Amino acid sequence: MSRARLHPFTLRFSSNYLEAAFRVDYVRRSLLLVRWALVLGLVQYAGFGLLDRWLVPSSLMEVRLVRAGACAVLALGIAYTFAPSFRRSMQVALAAVPLLGGLGVVAMVAFAQTADGYYQYYVGLTLILVYVHVLLRLRFIVASAVGGVLIAAYIAVAAMQETPPYLLANNVFFLLSANLSGMVASYALERYARLAFVQARQQTQNNAILADAFDRLRATQSQLIQQEKLASLGRLTAGVAHEIRNPLNFVSNFAELSDDLFRELEVVVIQSCQSVPPATCAELTNLTADLRHNLAKIQEHSRRADGIVQGMLEHARPGPGVREVVELNRLVADHTTLAHESFRVRYPDTECRLSLDLDAAVGEVVVAPQEIGRVVRNLVGNALLALCERAGDDGYAPTLVVRTRRGFSTVTVEVADNGPGIAATVRERIFEPFFTTRPAGQGTGLGLSLAADVAAAHGGMLTVESEEGQGATFTLTLPLAPSRAIEEKASEPARPEWPRPLAAA
């Protein structure tokens, strides 16, 4: 990857973003090792003080002061690793600790003068170089600079002390060799750390891509399985509905015929009551009343069964009907008025206010008008029934608002009421087939499920927003009509403007 290229000398990534991410990760991975390295360095730096008595007896006080100062620096370095700011300044802080410790060793060499320590203490610099290049996790460029400064300081002090040339050459050779070996190790460690970081990052990204692909594949598989199940269920439902409709038609037809015959029977019973005892007449009257009640129940439930069968057939239909270019506002207004008038006939004592808020910018859409009209009637009818549930509340004014709006690439039809609202548990299942909260005999549970299917078949969606006790808003979203279809429609004769009714029942 071009962004993961390393500078051959500084080992920096060519991408600043990647470099910043690596440094954060490098600190996180190195922190524990750095703390233990500083603790070990403190123990070793203090422990070697036991040799000062024999190596530099004449300068023991000065050497111990230097060693105490270096140990204090190490202790402060350990404490600073727990500070929040350490993660931002790790390289600078860790470079200062061995630099001061190494300069302390150089100072001990200066104080030792001609004693044995003068010839032996330089070995301490070699040990410090191990910390600089390996244990303290300094970056290659920083470690190389610290090592170079320490060796230069030693050479300067040794030269001022008139060190014998052979001894100076020997010590410098070993120090340079140790520093060069440390630089190679530091370079390799940092390079491998950076490459491992890139590989881990790429692996994480690949895993995320694979996980996302797997999730999408599983979702697609589930969707295909669900579609196949729904298709099979649709075929089964259609077959069952057709088989049920035939005997159901016989039940309905014979119920109507029985109703006609029953009227004739009632006439005969009334005439018979004139020539039979009162007790017999009362018994006949009770029997006819029971028969009338039972016949009414048969007719009622046969109509309900027919509605269920019709809903099943509509639900099993593979797609919407023939699509046409229609004026959405006219379609919404017509079917809203139709649903409202039907409601007024069924519930003449229930008063509610219906208002239409139709956006003139909505224009035309390409839809199956009968399908969308049925959806509008269903939504408006459900909203009006919901208003009935609060009709008796004090100070309550049942209100239903039907509005249309135009978006960037869609149009929406909103049906909002101030009824009792919908509970969260009901909202989760409200578009499931056969799910209903109405009493038995008053709903099939297919209306909203069918409406959602119609919306999806048109490339749109049906959603609901509601809080219990605060009304509900159903939103039908449809795509705008393609421009070519509208241009073809424009060549047809103009139709009169649709009315904007404002009805109150």
Convert the pLDDT of each residue in 286-322 to its tens digit.
888 888 888 887 877 777 677 667 766 665 565 556 7
pLDDT of 293 reads 81
The upper half-sphere exposure of residue 467, i.e. CA atoms within 13 Å in the direction of its Cβ, equals 1
Phi and psi, residue 356, nearest 5°: -110, 125
Q: How confident is the model at residue 451 (pLDDT cuts 50, 70, 90)?
A: confident
pLDDT of 308 reads 66
Look at residue 483 and tell me whether its pLDDT is greater than 70.
no
For 28-70, how does the pLDDT look when each residue is reduced to its tens digit (9 = 90+)? 999 999 999 999 999 999 999 888 888 888 888 998 999 999 9
Q: Where are the domains of the chain?
A: 2-212, 324-490
- Distance set, CA 222 to CA 110, 214, 219, 226, 229 (Å): 80, 12, 5, 6, 10
pTM to 2 decimal places: 0.52
Report DSSP letters for 103-170, one per residue.
HHHHHHHHHHTTSHHHHHTHHHHHHHHHIIIIIT---HHHHHHHHHHHHHHHHHHHHHTT--HHHHHH
What average pLDDT does range 120-138 have in this prediction? 91
Neighbours of 342 (CB within 10 A): 14
Neighbours of 379 (CB within 10 A): 27
Three-class secondary structure of residue 416 per DSSP: strand
How far apart, in Å, do the first and last CA atoms of the chain sit? 72
Identify which of 392, 381, 380 has the alpha carbon closest to the alpha carbon of residue 351.
392
> What is the CATH number assigned to the segment(s) 324-490?
3.30.565.10
